Copies of this chain bind each other. A is one copy, B any other.
């Protein structure tokens, strides 16, 4: 019997953001899950260039996926939220192409990589979910490419804040117009391909424009509609997604 949360009573699964599972499906996941790990803020979960015998689903906490270049430049590929699946690259392709780091304390469910094939043979629904997850990640990365390639600094920042806000909101991690956000301006800058200095100036401009502000680890969303428009994002809800 795995330690920690029982899949059957997993609080994440209750959220409307995630697709539901039948009782049998949950039973399978419960025996598929091998345990839980708790990580300190700043811990490395998966390392660029290495494989991993274990895959994860985030139960709580936030993190980053990033790539470190030879010369020290860093690109944050995207941010990691509860419900995200970690290690698909290592699980399927054998090696991680980026590093996953905890930005807060995190709790992760663990699965054995060696049993992934079992999903495909015994639980096609879960295999389908895995593909869904990969296709969805692909979509989000495509949106990121569009943002980095075509939008200016202000639009990029607006896009990042809205994407983060909507996700946190769907996870019930916002109170009124506030959310705790562990990411530093440095992280946002590295995610958006901006210098730290410029990211700071852009955030200042958004604050003065009454759109959003980020201070002392708290994000305040002042005008979600206007910020979304600036970001070029339609006003739609977060799409429902599978969770493993």
Interface 0/1 of A174-192, CB less than 8 Å to B: 0000000000000000111
Q: Is A238 an interface residue (CB 8 A)?
A: no
- Please tell me the size bucket of the interface on A: 35 or more
Q: Is there contact, CB below 8 Å, between A69 and B139?
A: no
Majority SS at the chain A contact face = helix
Assuming the A-B contacts A141-B141, A142-B77, A145-B144, are A127 and B135 also in contact, with contact meaning beta carbons closer than 8 angstroms in the complex? no
Q: In whole Å, how far is A151's beta carbon from the nearest beta carbon of chain B?
A: 8
Q: Is A67 an interface residue (CB 8 A)?
A: yes
Within 192-244 of A, Cβ neighbours of B (below 8 Å) are at: 192-193, 232, 239
Q: Which of A37-45, A117-125, A162-170 contacts B (4 or more CB under 8 A)?
A: A117-125
Q: Is A98 an interface residue (CB 8 A)?
A: yes
Q: Is A11 an interface residue (CB 8 A)?
A: no
Whole-angstrom distance between the alpha carbons of A93 and B149 in the complex? 24
CB-nearest residue of chain B to A156: B149
Q: Is there contact, CB below 8 Å, between A69 and B150?
A: yes
Assuming the A-B contacts A93-B135, A97-B139, A127-B127, are A75 and B120 also in contact, with contact meaning beta carbons closer than 8 angstroms in the complex? no
Binding site for B on A (CB under 8 A): 65, 67, 69-70, 73-75, 77, 88-89, 92-93, 97-98, 117, 120-121, 124-125, 127-128, 130-132, 134-139, 141-146, 148-150, 190-193, 232, 239
